[in-house]
C-alpha cells in the first residue's frame, strides 16, 4: 500500500462502525466509509461540525451542528482546492490521491521540455492541478459540466488560471476516439474510471466491461516516448492485480514496467491505515 501521508490540511481523526471522522482544514466531518468494518473505540464522535446521515431509501443528507460556509479552501503543498459537502457524501476531493500527484508530478518536473497529459474522468481536477503545477500541458475531460467548472475554480485558486489546461465536457471514450483520428499524442495519461457512469449524451460505462477497451484505445494516443500511465479505481471486488494485468497487457508494446497496489490514508493516533481504492502505474 502507498500512503498519502504528507497532508497538513487534512487528516482522518478516527474510524469505526462504518464511519470516518475527518478534518478538512478547520472543519470536522463524519461520513460513511464501506471499508470501516471495525468497531469504534470511543463512546461517541465527540466534537464535529457535520454528520452525514444515510437514508433507508438511498442517498442521505448532512446534519450540521453549526452553520458552515457553503465551501472552503484547503491546501496541499502549493495547491489549493475548494471543498464542498455534496448530497452524495463526497466533498469534491479524494485526498488519498495526493500520493499519486507527488509521483507523477516529480516525473513531469524532471523533464526539460513541457509534456502533454490527458486526465480522463477528471472530476474536480486534483490530478489536473497537480500535473499543471508541475509544468505539464493538461487536457481535463469529464462528462459532468459542473465538475469541469469546479476544476476551473481549483485552477484559479492555485494560481493556474493561465496554465495550459484544456477543459472538455465530453464522454471520455468518445473523446479518446476523436483524439485517435486527430493523431494527438500524450506523454502522460491519468484516468479514474467509475464503476458505472453515463456520458454527456447518455453513453453507459461499466468498469469491468469497458476498461480494457478504453486502455487499448489510449495506447493509440500514447507517445512512444511517454512517461507514465496511471489508472485509479474504486470499484468494489476488483483487485489491484487485475487492473495491473489489464494495464500490462495494454502497454505490452511500450518499454516500461507496471506496478499496482492499494492507496491509503493514515489514521491519526493509531497504527491503522484506511484503504481508499487501488492504482496501477506504468512508467518508462
Summarised one tens digit per residue, pLDDT across range 111-122 is 999 999 999 999
143 and 199 housed in the same domain: yes
- The answer to whether position 30 is within a domain reads yes
pTM of the full predicted structure?
0.95
Say how many domains are in the chain. Answer: 2
103 and 152 housed in the same domain: yes
100 and 73 housed in the same domain: no
Q: Residue 54 is part of which domain span?
A: 2-83
- The answer to whether position 88 is within a domain reads no
75 and 111 housed in the same domain: no
Residue range 28-74, pLDDT digits in tens? 999 999 999 999 988 899 999 999 998 877 789 999 999 999 999 99
Residue range 182-222, pLDDT digits in tens? 999 999 999 999 999 876 677 788 999 999 999 999 999 99
Residue range 211-255, pLDDT digits in tens? 999 999 999 999 999 999 999 999 989 999 999 999 999 999 999
Ramachandran angles phi, psi of 172, nearest 5°: -65, -40
**Contact (Cβ atoms closer than 8 angstroms) between residue 140 and residue 167:** yes
Q: Where are the alpha helices (DSSP H) in the chain?
A: 98-109, 126-133, 145-157, 172-182, 207-219, 240-250
204 and 102 housed in the same domain: yes
Q: In CATH, what number is assigned to the domain containing residue 51?
A: 2.60.40.1180
105 and 57 housed in the same domain: no
- The answer to whether position 134 is within a domain reads yes
Q: In CATH, what number is assigned to the domain containing residue 116?
A: 3.40.50.150
Amino acid at each position: 500500500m502507498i500512503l498519502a501521508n504528507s497532508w497538513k490540511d487534512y487528516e482522518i481523526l478516527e474510524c469505526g462502525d462504518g464511519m470516518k471522522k475527518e478534518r478538512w482544514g478547520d472543519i470536522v466531518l463524519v461520513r460513511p466509509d464501506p471499508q470501516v468494518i471495525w468497531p469504534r473505540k470511543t463512546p461517541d464522535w465527540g466534537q464535529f461540525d457535520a454528520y452525514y446521515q444515510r437514508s433507508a431509501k438511498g442517498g442521505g443528507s448532512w446534519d450540521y451542528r453549526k452553520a458552515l460556509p457553503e465551501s472552503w479552501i484547503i491546501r496541499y503543498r502549493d495547491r489549493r482546492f475548494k471543498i464542498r459537502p455534496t448530497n452524495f457524501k463526497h466533498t469534491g476531493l479524494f485526498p488519498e490521491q495526493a500520493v499519486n500527484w507527488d509521483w507523477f508530478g516529480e516525473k513531469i518536473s524532471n523533464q526539460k521540455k513541457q509534456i502533454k497529459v490527458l486526465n480522463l474522468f477528471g472530476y474536480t481536477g486534483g490530478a489536473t492541478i497537480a500535473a499543471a503545477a508541475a509544468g505539464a500541458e493538461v487536457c481535463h475531460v469529464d462528462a459532468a459540466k459542473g465538475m469541469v467548472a469546479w476544476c476551473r475554480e481549483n485552477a484559479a485558486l492555485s494560481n493556474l488560471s493561465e496554465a495550459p489546461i484544456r477543459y472538455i465536457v465530453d464522454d471520455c471514450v468518445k473523446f479518446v476516439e476523436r483524439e485517435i483520428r486527430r493523431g494527438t499524442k500524450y506523454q502522460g495519461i491519468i484516468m479514474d474510471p467509475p464503476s458505472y457512469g453515463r456520458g454527456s449524451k447518455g453513453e453507459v460505462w461499466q468498469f469491468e466491461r469497458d476498461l480494457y477497451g478504453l486502455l487499448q484505445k489510449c495506447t493509440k494516443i500514447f507517445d512512444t516516448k511517454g512517461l507514465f500511465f496511471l489508472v485509479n479505481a474504486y470499484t468494489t471486488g476488483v483487485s489491484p492485480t487485475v487492473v495491473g494485468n489489464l494495464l500490462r497487457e495494454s502497454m505490452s508494446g511500450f518499454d516500461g514496467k507496471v506496478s499496482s497496489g492499494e492507496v491509503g490514508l493514515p489514521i491519526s493516533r493509531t497504527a491503522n491505515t484506511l484503504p481508499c481504492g487501488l492504482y496501477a502505474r506504468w512508467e518508462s
